[in-house]
Amino acid sequence: MFSFSKMQGAGNDFVVIDIMKNQFEYSLPVLSQFLCDRHYGVGADGVILLDKSETQDFKMKIFNSDGSEAEMCGNGIRCLAKYVFEKGLTDKTEFFVETLAGAKKVELELEHKKVVSVKVNMGSPEVDCIKYMIEIEEKQYYVYPVSLGNPHAVCFVKNVEDFEVEKVGPILENYKYFPDKTNVEFVEIVDKHNMKVRVWERGVGETNACGTGACASCMIAIKEKFAESDVIVDLKGGSLKIYFDKESQEMILEGGAEFVFDGQMEMM
């Protein structure tokens, strides 16, 4: 028997489990596949495990719905930050979380002792000075590789709402240029401070939102002079604020996180 919380950030939903106090003996990839199943499990895009860290305040492990482990998740880390504060595991409003993509600083905005928004320093994106032209059924797509600890491919389109994400997304995710597969962002520029994004997430499929994907989209848009340093990213599940600090070359992600419900599960 173990306890969990169902949480979501911009419609990107997670099963959050605290494993700091007890030895967790389940196969994490298998457990993640089961818990994320929307028919037989709890239902989620991923599973977040809260663990002790030897170097930071907390440690986050995150597994996708297909059982693969992800390096980092912008929406997931905001959910984790709200979880540790509102469950009484810390009284700090600024702290660091260890991830496979490095330590990330989070800052909490409170109202009546509740977390209403979380800022995450996502670090400096790694941008390749190239773009790939990929042809799919005689249509050409230009994709820009970028990393925020996890891989992304940004593709600009004219009308993202009508775009065939479910058709093009898995082809780009598994294309030969991306040996470890990649998250794919389809981006429509509205103006210098607003963009619309749909996300095909590696190991998951289309999701309502992706924090690292929003940052990757903004980074390429800024690099190509399509956008300024502060951008509102409109995703299927809600909006996120992104700020790029030109001096430090770091990206700040800001958005909300919500509890959906708490539960317990007994594994056979």
CA torsion sign, 191 to 10 to 44 to 126? Answer: positive
Burial of 29 from C-beta contacts in 10 A (0-12 / 13-18 / 19+) = middle
The mean pLDDT value for 209-238 works out to 97
**Rounded percentage of the chain residues whose pLDDT exceeds 90:** 94
Spatial distance between the Cα atoms of 113 and 75, rounded to a whole number of angstroms: 21
User: Residue 134: which CATH number?
Assistant: 3.10.310.10
The mean pLDDT value for 83-91 works out to 98
Spatial distance between the Cα atoms of 178 and 188, rounded to a whole number of angstroms: 23
- Please tell me whether residues 138 and 230 are part of one structural domain: yes
Q: Is 210 part of the annotated catalytic residue set?
A: yes
- Please tell me whether residues 159 and 195 are part of one structural domain: yes
- Please tell me whether residues 131 and 240 are part of one structural domain: yes
Tokens at residue 268, please?
Answer: 């056979």
- Please tell me whether residues 130 and 243 are part of one structural domain: yes
Q: Output the pLDDT for position 41.
A: 94
Residue range of the domain that includes 205 = 126-247
Instruction: Give the tens place of pLDDT for each residue, 19-60.
Output: 997 777 889 999 999 999 999 999 999 999 999 999 999 999
Catalytic hit among 155, 210, 215, 218: 210
Catalytic hit among 36, 73, 79, 218: 73
Burial of 35 from C-beta contacts in 10 A (0-12 / 13-18 / 19+) = buried
- Please tell me whether residues 209 and 191 are part of one structural domain: yes
Number of domains making up the chain = 2
Average pLDDT, the chain: 96
- Please tell me whether residues 37 and 138 are part of one structural domain: no
Instruction: Give the tens place of pLDDT for each residue, 135-166.
Output: 999 999 999 999 999 999 999 999 999 999 99
Q: Output the pLDDT for position 129.
A: 77
Spatial distance between the Cα atoms of 8 and 24, rounded to a whole number of angstroms: 23
- Please tell me whether residues 44 and 157 are part of one structural domain: no
- Please tell me whether residues 71 and 150 are part of one structural domain: no
Instruction: Give the tens place of pLDDT for each residue, 201-220.
Output: 999 999 999 999 999 999 99
**Rounded percentage of the chain residues whose pLDDT exceeds 70:** 99
Q: Output the pLDDT for position 201.
A: 96
Q: Output the pLDDT for position 87.
A: 97
- Please tell me whether residues 100 and 167 are part of one structural domain: no
- Please tell me whether residues 29 and 46 are part of one structural domain: yes
Q: Output the pLDDT for position 268.
A: 62
Answer yes or no: pTM beyond 0.75.
yes
Q: Output the pLDDT for position 1.
A: 82
Q: Is 155 part of the annotated catalytic residue set?
A: no
- Please tell me whether residues 141 and 111 are part of one structural domain: no
- Please tell me whether residues 92 and 134 are part of one structural domain: no
Instruction: Give the tens place of pLDDT for each residue, 240-266.
Output: 999 999 999 999 999 999 999 999 988
